[in-house]
Amino acid sequence: RAMSSITVPPPKCLQKTFVAPRRHMFGPGPSNVPPRILAAGAEPIIGHMHPEMLEIMSDIKSGIQYAFQTQNNMTIAVSGTGHTAMECAIFNAVEPGEGVLTAVNGIWGERAAEMAERIGARVNSIVTTAGGYFTSEEIDRALAKHKPVLFFLTHGESSTGVVHPLDGIGDICHKHNCLFLVDCVASMGGAPLHMDKQGIDILYSGSQKVLNAPPGTAPISFSERACQKVFNRKTKPVSFFLDMTWLANYWGCDGKPARIYHHTAPVSAFYSLRESLAILAEQGLENSWQRHKEVAEYFHEGLENMGLKLFVKDKNARLPTVTTIVSPPGYDWKEITSYIMKNHNLEISGGLGPSVGQVLRVGLMGGNSSKASVDMVLEALRDALRYCHKSKV
Ligand code: PMP
């Protein structure tokens, strides 16, 4: 046989068939994807600019408008995860040298600050303890002091388990001539949110939490006020991929008759996202908010009955989608999460950022938000506390 030109042989590991394990995905995300959404994602690929695809994109736009409660024309899904939408918001709304204020009560405000710094913005932050949130007066004062063009706030702080109040903040931002940017990756569909009524200028989410779609697409919407800023920039945004001038055309939001190729849409991911938004629309947004609230309360009561403590003291500030439990004293949280994964085939996670080592985090989102899931988690925790304790004595 002739000498092969190949110097890197075909990897042996690829000869094995991969089968994904079946798990209860009760961490802060991704959540379990129901068969109907998986099936949608398994449909054959069509061209990303075929008429059927443009129709799917239009359906997705309507679904996001419903989920966000907005009439904004500038509503799309970014090809990428929650972080991609976060950068899309900041990169398009802010020019180098402009001021950004971020509210930091967990990791997301820190990350938003870093993204804004990377594009040369002047960044200031207001900071509170993990588990806390900000009053309107604190926000008002900081906006008056720093005069930013953009204020970032996380609605569902998944690293600490806090749902931030939103009413009134949009008006405060506008009084200070500032755009109001909100992260609802972990809260959309699981806690009340009204983009238009609450005066939110830019809102983004993710596909892999309450929507129960695979990770990789991220809803985002811009108000008329935000569009005024985004489309009247002096400089181009640093990212070609995330430039809203391109994306607006790609999503048919710019009123131009022709769509110009920008990037190849993740076709299967859009099928799945469309299906997940269809399910939310079928179930009804308010029913979904209510179910998440009731299930979370049932869960919190069960935890307290077991003698566990909730990390967020203020009941009204508890995020219904992601619960933070004070890491049980005397236990190693890693041992608990590993035990539960190994023996119950169930994912819960430890803390993130400021809550590392302090909490266990349990996410019950979308289809996973049910009393049956709660019972499963409580049983797993009870078992882990028994076993992990014994192993320590
Ligand atoms: N914001 C919040 C509140 C989140 O919970 C997450 C995901 N954990 C993100 C942003 C980032 O999303 P992704 O991991 O999809 O990039």
Q: Is the ipTM beyond the 0.95 threshold? A: yes
Residue 363's DSSP bridge partners are 322
Residue 262's nearest CA partner among 281, 247, 272 is 247
Q: Which residues contact 352 (CB under 8 A, 6 or more apart)?
A: 28, 106, 107, 158, 159, 361
Paired tokens of 81 = 């995860």
Closest residue by CA, ligand 1 atom 12: 82
User: Could you tell me the pTM of the whole model?
Assistant: 0.97
Q: The dihedral of CA 134, 136, 141, 144: what is its sign?
A: positive
**Res 1: pLDDT:** 65
Atom of ligand 1 nearest to the CA of 187: 3
Tell me whether domains 24-30+285-392 and 35-282 share a fold: no
Q: What is the pLDDT of residues 45-102, one digit of tens each?
A: 999 899 999 999 999 999 999 999 999 999 999 999 999 999 999 999 999 999 999 9
Mean pLDDT of 288-298: 98
Instruction: Check pocket membership of 215 for ligand 1, CB cut-off 6 A.
Output: yes
391: confidence class by pLDDT, cuts 50, 70, 90: low
Q: What is the pLDDT of residues 338-369, one digit of tens each?
A: 999 999 999 999 999 988 999 999 999 999 99
Q: Which residues contact 287 (CB under 8 A, 6 or more apart)?
A: none
| Pure H helices in the chain | 35-41, 51-68, 82-93, 107-118, 136-146, 169-175, 224-230, 244-250, 267-283, 285-305, 333-344, 371-392
Q: Under a CB-based contact definition with an 8 Å cutoff, are residues 308 and 336 in contact?
A: no
Where exactly are the structural domains of the chain?
Answer: 24-30+285-392, 35-282
* Sequence letter at residue 123: V
- The alpha carbon of 260 and the centre of ligand 1 are apart by a number of angstroms equal to 30
Instruction: Check pocket membership of 369 for ligand 1, CB cut-off 6 A.
Output: no
Q: What is the CATH number of domain 24-30+285-392?
A: 3.90.1150.10
Instruction: Check pocket membership of 154 for ligand 1, CB cut-off 6 A.
Output: yes
Class of 35-282 in CATH: alpha beta
Q: What is the DSSP letter of 73?
A: S
**Res 390: pLDDT:** 57
How much of the chain, in percent, has pLDDT values that exceed 70?
A: 99
Output the known binding site for substrate. 361
Q: Which residue among 185, 211, 323 has the greatest number of ligand 1 atoms within 8 angstroms of its CB, and so is best to mutate?
A: 185
Q: Is the pLDDT reported for residue 383 higher than 90?
A: yes
Mean pLDDT of 22-43: 98
* Sequence letter at residue 175: K
Atom of ligand 1 nearest to the CA of 352: 8
- The alpha carbon of 32 and the centre of ligand 1 are apart by a number of angstroms equal to 16
Output the known binding site. 361
